Structure 1
Amino acid sequence: MHSIMYVFKRKPELTLEEFYYHYEHIHAPIAKRLPKLVEYRQHQTRLAGKGDGFYAGENRYDAASVYTFENAEDAEMAWLSSVGDELEEDTAKLIDTKTMITLPVTVRKVFTLE
Structure 2
Amino acid sequence: MHTIGFLFSRHPDMSLDEFHRHYRDVHGPIARQLPGLIEYRQHPVRETGVGDVHSHSGCGFDALSIFVFESAEAAEAAWNSPQNGPVQEDTVKMINLDTMITLPIVLRPVLTALEVPR
Above 0.5 in TM-score?
yes
Shift in Å at residue 32 of structure 1?
A: 0.7
d(CA) in 2 for partners of 1:60, 1:54: 15
Contact 2:5–2:66 at 8 Å: present in 1 too?
Answer: yes
Tell me what 1:22 maps to. Answer: 22
d(CA) in 1 for partners of 2:29, 2:87: 10
SS of match in other structure, 1:111: coil
Task: Structure 1 unaligned segments of length 5 or more: list them.
Answer: none
Tell me what 1:93 maps to. Answer: 93
Percent identity reads: 46
Q: Which moved more, 1:53-62 or 1:98-107?
A: 53-62
d(CA) in 1 for partners of 2:103, 2:87: 18
| Structure 1: 4+ residue segments shifted above 4 A | none
1:36-76 CA distances to partner (integer Å, 9 max, x unpaired)? 00000000001111101111232310001000000000000
Tell me what 2:68 maps to. Answer: 68
Shift in Å at residue 109 of structure 1?
A: 0.8
SS of match in other structure, 1:4: strand
RMSD: 0.8
